[in-house]
Structure 1
Amino acid sequence: MLSIGSLKNNIAQILIILKKDLVFSLALALSVITSFFSTPKIEYIDFKVLFTLFNLMLIVSAFKHMKVLDKLAVTLLIKYDSSKKISFILIYLTFFSSMLITNDVALITFVPLALIISKRASISPMKLVIFQTLAANIGSGLTPMGNPQNLFLFSYYRLTGFEFLKTMISFTLLGIIWLFILNNLGKNKKLKFDLDNIIIESKVKVMIFSLLFIFIILSVFNIINYKLAFIITLLTVLILNKKLLLKVDYILLLTFVCFFVFIGNLSSLPFIKSLARSFLQNKTTTYFSSIILSQVVSNVPCSILLANFTSNWRELLLGVNIGGLGTLVASLASVISYKLYIKKRTANAQSRYLTLFTLYNLISLLVFTFVLYFIFIF
């Protein structure tokens, strides 16, 4: 039985976590509040996403522990000695990889590399991480498997590969140009750093975890069952290095659970469904409704909800991909990079990141919304 002192201590620790992690606090509050208006259901939670994130966090932690990411960072820094060149490589690496391994996997793979490079080169990683997030959310739009909303709409409307590509190619090309502009706006700094020779002690373990990483990527594409991937990953970690389990960001996983519940609750409300019916009568309203709604409920549930009420698949497809820009919750992949960035940083740093993230994303949202509107709809 807990004593009063122990209970107070536990409550104090919970309050510290809530105060420190603003996004988790927001997600928790929203999930609790909406649960009073709509009964939460277990099916709202995407367990595949949770298990995959857990697996990837273990793999990335393993690579960090074995200094694989440090080795990659040093290799890039030796070859490229300016801040713009380094950011260019990392932004487009995230951009193009997201087309194949999805936006969330691209971010959880390459943001840690950006953080290590920034630390070694003594530069601020804030803008770079924000641009990587934009890159992942834009680059993933080109392919059906790039993100969950694309996969759903591709299947739901029974689109051909040509129809899909024809619609999304302008979005992607605009993204390539826009990211190039953003990367060239800042000052180019000549990087000065002292680099140690990184020695990887166990190449066998590196190979095992590399194969495990490939195994997890296959589970993303449903080639291998994600539950099997989870079991094998967990067993491998328990055998090779069980301390990696302490490196997992469990608060991030809980944040996703809370967002899933909030989004599920909100999407099931009758007035939301009523609004969907009234706003999806033509192409223009479908386009703008999907962009605006994504800012509140995230673009994946927005796609699932609105697809039931419209045949304007092209406008919906464009809208939910553009809608992934904007607020932090517009694409839940953005929450991943935010959490990776703010780890062990002050509340001040969290606030600065959110401010700058919102600024760049809202500007990007406006640019993409109106440029693509005039290309496709006007």
Structure 2
Amino acid sequence: MNKVKGFVKRETVLSAAVILAILSAMVIRPDREYGSYIDYKTIGLLFCLMTVMAGLQSLGVFKKAGERLLGYVKGPGAVSAVLVFLCFFFSMAITNDVALITFVPFAIAVLKMAGMEPLVLPVVVLQTIAANLGSMLTPVGNPQNLYLYSKAGLNAGRFMELMAPYTAVSFGMLVLCLAVVAAGNRMPGKERNGRGQGPMVSGFPGFSQEAAGMEASGKRIYLGRLGLYLFLFLLSLGCVARILPWQLLLAVVITGVWIADRSLFLAVDYSLLLTFCAFFVFIGNMGRVPAFCRFLGRILEGREIITCVGASQIISNVPAALLLSGFSGDYSALIVGTNLGGLGTLIASMASLISYKHIARMYPMEKGRYLGWFTVVNLLFLAVLLVLSLWVIPF
């Protein structure tokens, strides 16, 4: 029983999705149509992207890029900006989850070694918001985008055109927030000479030491794996652009990773894939209940964005996208609504929990203050973007 409780606590969203799927199966008994519920392309693409991102992350590619950028800046304002915009721009290609897993601990380590520890809380708050907002621009930025992009049949250009105004406004708001943070955290004497923060970041565990080690032993293996993972990432983008069939991509990724580093398969978030499958079963079953379809359709009609935002605050934006997409054909509104819905509460985007867990573990006495700042700034961004979506920016 304790193991079950522990699993439910650890995998709350998956547990809820499975319960909903089981309850719906009591209404619509299992039959041949169950097989058609699952969007196998989305599941396959997510698996491939997560596997490839795990490979690139295992090589330290993203942190190395961050270290290089930090080597050219100095001062708390510039360092904060680089750390935040690393999340913003990288999330567009590597997903919001991977961006936060990579750059939040990196930022904490860099700020501590630079004597800028008072900046940790505001920077991590802005990193989290930046990852969620940057990821909304592209189909591969987050799981709900990939699913809705595939379901809507949009091309990548149209998808990015839809989300570009919100991304641009988000960028501007992040710049303003960073200016406020920098103004409130003047640190004379902390700035470094020469190439800025180069001496500081070179002490970050990993890259300069890693590179020296690779000279002697594993450089060829490292470069071989890097080339393979970049090639697989390009193939994944080709599949997203509907140039390659997902079945071919899946076969190539499994084969390539099995040869290069099969331990990467353990890094895949299988609970997310199972959550998708469980929601697909629930949506498929409830879609065969006319009364439920009419009820949810009436709630959604003309209110897709606000409904998505509201649902995301309670169940997170990925489940909201999966649930509501089964009962509305206005995919543009669903895409906007679920992306904006990632702002607000801590669980509005499950990626936000990544940052919170780092803060709670490293600064347990500060987690309440972090949560307060996080909520206030998130609600500010949400209010501005929601007003734009409802009254200013046309689809």
Q: Same fold (TM over 0.5)?
A: yes
SS in structure 2 of the partner of residue 117 of structure 1 = helix
Quote the Cα distance in structure 1 between the aligned partners of 2:360 and 2:323. 31
**2:110 aligned with 1:111, yes or no?**
no
Cα RMSD for the two superposed structures: 4.5
Equivalent position amino acid for 1:175 in 2: S
Q: TM-score, normalised by structure 1?
A: 0.69
Q: Which of these residues, 242, 245, 263, is aligned with residue 222 of structure 1?
A: 242
1:8 corresponding residue in structure 2: none
**2:264 aligned with 1:244, yes or no?**
yes
**2:393 aligned with 1:373, yes or no?**
no
The Cα of 1:114 is off from its aligned counterpart by 0.6
Matches within 5 A, 1:274-353: 274-279=294-299, 285=303, 288-289=306-307, 291-292=309-310, 298-299=320-321, 301-303=323-325, 305-307=327-329, 318-319=336-337, 321-326=339-344, 334-336=349-351, 338=353, 342=357
Quote the Cα distance in structure 2 between the aligned partners of 1:372 and 1:366. 10
The alpha-carbon distance between structure 1 residues 114 and 290, as it changes in their structure 2 partners (threshold 3 A), is closer
Quote the Cα distance in structure 2 between the aligned partners of 1:67 and 1:287. 38
Q: Which of these residues, 128, 136, 139, is aligned with residue 137 of structure 2?
A: 139
The alpha-carbon distance between structure 1 residues 329 and 300, as it changes in their structure 2 partners (threshold 3 A), is farther
Equivalent position amino acid for 1:335 in 2: M
1:16 corresponding residue in structure 2: 6
The Cα of 1:339 is off from its aligned counterpart by 5.5
Matches within 5 A, 1:17-56: 17-37=7-27, 41-56=34-49
On the 8 A contact 1:45/1:261 being kept in 2, the answer is: yes
The alpha-carbon distance between structure 1 residues 74 and 329, as it changes in their structure 2 partners (threshold 3 A), is closer
Quote the Cα distance in structure 2 between the aligned partners of 1:268 and 1:179. 44
Q: Which moved more, 1:236-245 or 1:265-274?
A: 265-274
Quote the Cα distance in structure 2 between the aligned partners of 1:114 and 1:85. 16
The alpha-carbon distance between structure 1 residues 229 and 354, as it changes in their structure 2 partners (threshold 3 A), is farther
Quote the Cα distance in structure 1 between the aligned partners of 2:79 and 2:25. 45
Quote the Cα distance in structure 2 between the aligned partners of 1:77 and 1:67. 15
1:80 corresponding residue in structure 2: 73
Quote the Cα distance in structure 2 between the aligned partners of 1:343 and 1:250. 22
Quote the Cα distance in structure 1 between the aligned partners of 2:12 and 2:264. 25
On the 8 A contact 1:219/1:225 being kept in 2, the answer is: yes
On the 8 A contact 2:62/2:102 being kept in 1, the answer is: yes
Equivalent position amino acid for 2:294 in 1: S
Query: What residue ranges of structure 1 are gaps of 5+ in the alignment?
Result: 1-10
Quote the Cα distance in structure 1 between the aligned partners of 2:351 and 2:39. 15
Equivalent residues, number: 347
Q: TM-score, normalised by structure 2?
A: 0.67
Quote the Cα distance in structure 1 between the aligned partners of 2:60 and 2:305. 46
Query: What residue ranges of structure 2 are gaps of 5+ in the alignment?
Result: 191-196
2:53 corresponding residue in structure 1: 60
Q: Which moved more, 1:271-280 or 1:201-210?
A: 271-280
**2:172 aligned with 1:180, yes or no?**
no
Quote the Cα distance in structure 2 between the aligned partners of 1:164 and 1:70. 26
Quote the Cα distance in structure 1 between the aligned partners of 2:325 and 2:40. 19
Equivalent position amino acid for 2:328 in 1: L
1:244-282 alpha-carbon deviations (Å, 9 max, x no partner)? 23333333433343444455556665454323554567x
Q: Which moved more, 1:352-361 or 1:229-238?
A: 352-361
1:5 corresponding residue in structure 2: none
Quote the Cα distance in structure 1 between the aligned partners of 2:285 and 2:374. 27
Equivalent position amino acid for 2:55 in 1: A
